[in-house]
A and B are shown apart, each in its own frame.
Chain A
Amino acid sequence: MHIKCLARFCAVLTSGVLLLWSMAAVAESGWLQLNMPRGVTAVSREVYDLHMLILWICVVIGVLVFGVMFYSMYFHRKSRGVKPAQFHESTKVEVVWTLVPLFILVGMAVPATKTLITMEDTRDTEMTVKITGYQWRWQYEYLDQDISFFSTLSTPREQIYNLAEKNTDYILEVDNPLVLPVDTRIRLLTTSADVIHSWWVPDLGWKRDAIPGFINDNWTLIEEPGIYRGVCAELCGRDHAYMPIVLHAVSKEEFAEWVQQQQQSTAISAAH
């Protein structure tokens, strides 16, 4: 084989391998994490669609406006020897570019209103969990099942201080996750015992503040089993970055089993 050919072959091969490797690396890394998750509830998907709708409308308006601007900057420059026009007023175009955006806004407001009304309708729920924020952990109380526990960050301090290799779920891991059944309309109440926190799992499509002295009313209906992670989203002091939320969504049967286990272990610890 000709030496040149071999070199070319090697080059193609290595670049191919490099490309594959870098694609894999990119997929694993955060480079492609550019957008909101679609989530696992009907509401979260509605929110996602709304988000994309407005985003694209803004992109189109932006392209138009900036397009005109760049056109003008290119063709209407002094160095091309143009004489400046002197027009400076036109009620007609002012009215047009007041009304057109107004109509576009109405177009956005309609779906937004619909989604908002759905999200705020907390009727007809099948079970209730009360979530209380503390500096810096969450408490979950299953009001119908009589279960209650705290959920605290479980990432070791060494990882935070860069003394140990970081886990994949670095600072998104807890000792006791919140366990919820899928396909159930669940009411989630948020409140706080000290300062304001905010309970947020992006895959559910919303966050809601936990305010001391008041309770906020929310609901969700998870469609897919899985592990979903979230964070406290309201600044609550020193360890605000370290009060994550881990949510295990499980089938109804698994949930029933889990409930039993929990109730037994509480009964045992109560007996002691």
Chain B
Amino acid sequence: MSADNGYYVPHQSIWPIVGSIGLFVTMIGLANMLTGAWNASVLLVGATILLIMIFGWFGAVIKESESGLYSQQVDRSFRWGMGWFIFSEIMFFAAFFGALFYARQFALPWMAGDAGRLVTHEFLWPTFEYVWPSSGPAELGGEFQPMGWWALPTINTLILITSSITLTFSHEAMRHNQRQKHINWLALTIVLGLIFLGLQMYEYVYAYTELNLRLETGIYGSTFYMLTGFHGLHVAIGAIILAVILGRSLRGHFTAERHFGFEAAVWYWHFVDVVWLFLFICIYVL
């Protein structure tokens, strides 16, 4: 096979420019929605273009892969690419974790008069006492109840951990060329991901209606929804990726030796899982 004696360099592809246009339309649509100028239609057009791009691009890659154009070296490039992409995602979450940490360790205690910031407390927020969770000295968003860590979040944690385990089984099965087993475990993983998302939705509704815990509930609401929200988004993306992989597996793609597409999805899923563990500890438990 030729794949072993050369690095496959694709020629001329329309998908990147389609992707750029898609991103542009999406961003313009979103910005105009935020200013209140437009409704969601342009945003949806952009998202559709992006979706077409993803199908087209990945379709091309899959075709090339299946026709054996990719050498080991190409495979390694994909690995480096995926690995560093996940690292960039970790740093994205780090910004929000940083905000949470800063508010709890510095901003709020200072307003409460700790650590030599007595003047701030005395003159600006004389009645403020710091207990976490806090919606700040002005108690923005009104009275609220914090989200407990017991029950729902714990169940969700267990679900995600289980899904990582089922995915590992699926991966093992793939390595041993047990296709049906691989497909079953993979499907189960996706189902668990969807249950997680469903419960998360339920949790949000509960928080809004029963606890009066909202985005505008001061720094607690801000960090809670920002972190769990972006995490949820990543679970959704991960589930979609896994679904695509499932479709490919059903069509007989991948071999016991060569299945980086699947492996990349596995990495991503584990990453999302680990983020959740941090989140569970930092947001719910501590």
Contacts and interface: CB of A to CB of B under 8 A. Distances in A.
**Chain A directly contacts chain B within the complex, with at least one CB pair under 8 Å:** yes
Interface of A: 130, 189, 191, 213-215, 217
A214 B123 contact: no
Contacts of A213: 111, 120, 124
A266 B30 CA distance: 53
Contacts of B244: none
B111 A217 contact: no
A234 B117 CA distance: 22
Nearest to A217: B119
Given A213-B124, A214-B124, A215-B124, A189 B119 contact: yes
Q: Dominant SS at the A interface?
A: strand
Given A189-B123, A215-B119, A217-B119, 6 more contacts: A189-B119, A191-B124, A214-B110, A214-B124, A215-B123, A215-B124
Contacts of A214: 110-111, 117, 120, 124
A130 B124 CA distance: 12
B123 A130 contact: yes
Contacts of B117: 214-215
Contacts of A215: 117, 119-120, 123-124
A189 B122 CA distance: 12
Interface in B51-80: none
Contacts of B123: 130, 189, 191, 215
A14 to B, nearest CB: 63
Nearest to B138: A213
Contacts of A217: 116, 119
B25 to A, nearest CB: 33
Size band of the interface chain B makes with A: under 10
A191 B119 CA distance: 10
14 contacts: A130-B123, A189-B119, A189-B123, A191-B124, A213-B111, A213-B124, A214-B110, A214-B117, A214-B120, A214-B124, A215-B117, A215-B119, A215-B124, A217-B119
Interface in B167-224: none
Nearest to B121: A215
Interface string B100-126: 000000000011000011011001100
Contacts of A189: 119, 123
A117 B212 CA distance: 46
Contacts of B120: 213-215
Nearest to B110: A214
A217 B119 CA distance: 7
A130 B120 CA distance: 11
| Interface-central residue, A189, A214, A217, by most chain B CB under 10 Å | A214
B6 to A, nearest CB: 36
A161 B115 CA distance: 48
A211 to B, nearest CB: 9
A148 B119 CA distance: 18
7 smallest A-B Cβ distances: which pairs? A215-B119, A215-B120, A214-B120, A217-B119, A189-B119, A215-B123, A215-B124
A213 B116 CA distance: 16
A134 to B, nearest CB: 15
A45 B67 CA distance: 76
Interface in B111-146: 111, 116-117, 119-120, 123-124
Nearest to A187: B119
Contacts of B110: 214
A214 B117 CA distance: 9
A263 to B, nearest CB: 21
A215 B116 CA distance: 11
A264 B231 CA distance: 62
A265 B119 CA distance: 29
A213 B136 CA distance: 11
Interface in B82-113: 110-111
Nearest to B118: A217
Nearest to A214: B120
A215 B122 CA distance: 10
Contacts of A191: 123-124
A215 B125 CA distance: 11
| Interface-central residue, B119, B123, B124, by most chain A CB under 10 Å | B119
A108 B241 CA distance: 56
Contacts of B111: 213-214
A188 to B, nearest CB: 11
A189 B119 CA distance: 8
A189 B123 CA distance: 10
A176 to B, nearest CB: 22
A217 B115 CA distance: 13
